[in-house]
Amino acid sequence: MWKLSILLTLFLFLNSCTSETSNPESSDGPVDSRAKSTQPVANGSQEQKASNNADTTDFRIAFNRFFQALQAGDTSTLNEFIHPQYGVWFIEQPGAVPKMTLVGNIQSFKREYQNRSFLSVAEEMKKCNLQKEPFPKFSCDDLNYDAGKTGYSKDGCFVWKPEKFVKSGYWNYADLSLQQVKRVQTTLPLVKKSVLHTNTSFEFHFGYIDDHWRLLFAKLIYPCSA
């Protein structure tokens, strides 16, 4: 009889343990996979918003913003295109040799041409619809402003690779100190896009630095004038 009592007690004990471990409300049980599928999924809207707020890598959009600021005389926006460390070098040729001026604020620059501000460039550049292709060939023999001939084999506003400007060597003939020349040479590898406006022959050379397109060099030289 006592053996039967022991067996009955053991059976009740084991049955109690099985009931506890199979309880779905237990906090130590596995997470229901269906609960995972009901969690909200990020739709990327915040990431997209951040991307829209960042300065675009699309050069055409950035240049249009630069050109519109020039036309509007918006010096605040123009200064955003000047990097605080590298500045912008203006290249002119008032005489036989080029002159280069480093500027950190667009309002401080005065052109050799009649001591005018940079904003006066807008009077000579009324439009600039970028065309992505190599710069057209130029010849002084074909230059005749009175006849409307710019000297270029094709007119317009062109954007292309900067290799030609990088190899031009204006800084080697300008009245710059050795330290200034080294500074120019440090900036040159940063240039990624070059823009030519054939009606004036002006050139603008940009680099992409710190997530912004920056104007690093501006060549304001009238061809065949030396």
Half-sphere exposure of 32 (CA within 13 A, CB side): 9
In three-state secondary structure terms, 139 is strand
In tens, the pLDDT along 187-197 reads 999 999 999 99
In tens, the pLDDT along 49-84 reads 333 333 557 999 999 999 999 999 999 999 999 999
Give me the CATH topology for the region 58-219: Nuclear Transport Factor 2; Chain: A, (3.10.450)
Residues 6+ apart with CB under 8 A from 156: 129, 131, 198
Confidence grade of residue 145 (pLDDT, cut at 50, 70, 90): confident
| Average pLDDT of the residues of the chain | 82
| pLDDT average, residue stretch 82-110 | 96
| pLDDT average, residue stretch 75-102 | 96
pLDDT at 216: 98
Q: Is 130 exposed, middle or buried (0-12, 13-18, 19+ CB in 10 A)?
A: middle
Q: Give backbone dihedrals phi and psi of 96, rounded to 5 degrees, phi first.
A: -75, -25
Of 196, 213, 223, give the one whose Cα is nearest residue 82.
213
| In the chain, domain spans | 58-219
In tens, the pLDDT along 113-125 reads 889 999 999 999 9
pLDDT at 57: 73
- CA–CA distance, 63 with 144 (Å, rounded to integer): 29
Most confident range (mean pLDDT) of 19-28, 37-46, 199-208 is 199-208
Using alpha carbons only, give the angle 133, 137, 141 rounded to the nearest 5 degrees: 155
The residue with tokens 């009931």 is: 19
- CA–CA distance, 182 with 171 (Å, rounded to integer): 10
Check pLDDT > 60 for residue 222: yes
The more confidently predicted of residues 98 and 31 is 98
Q: Residue 92 is which amino acid?
A: E
Which residues lie across from 73 on neighbouring strands? none
Confidence grade of residue 94 (pLDDT, cut at 50, 70, 90): very high
212 touches 128 (CB < 8 A): no
Question: Cβ–Cβ contacts within 10 Å for residue 75, how many?
Answer: 16
Using alpha carbons only, give the angle 203, 207, 210 rounded to the nearest 5 degrees: 150
Residues 6+ apart with CB under 8 A from 192: 59, 162, 206, 207, 208
What's the pTM? Answer: 0.75
Check pLDDT > 90 for residue 167: yes
| pLDDT average, residue stretch 134-148 | 94
| DSSP calls for 111-125 | -TTTT-BGGGHHHH-
pLDDT at 213: 97
The more confidently predicted of residues 36 and 142 is 142
Of 180, 222, 181, give the one whose Cα is nearest residue 95.
222
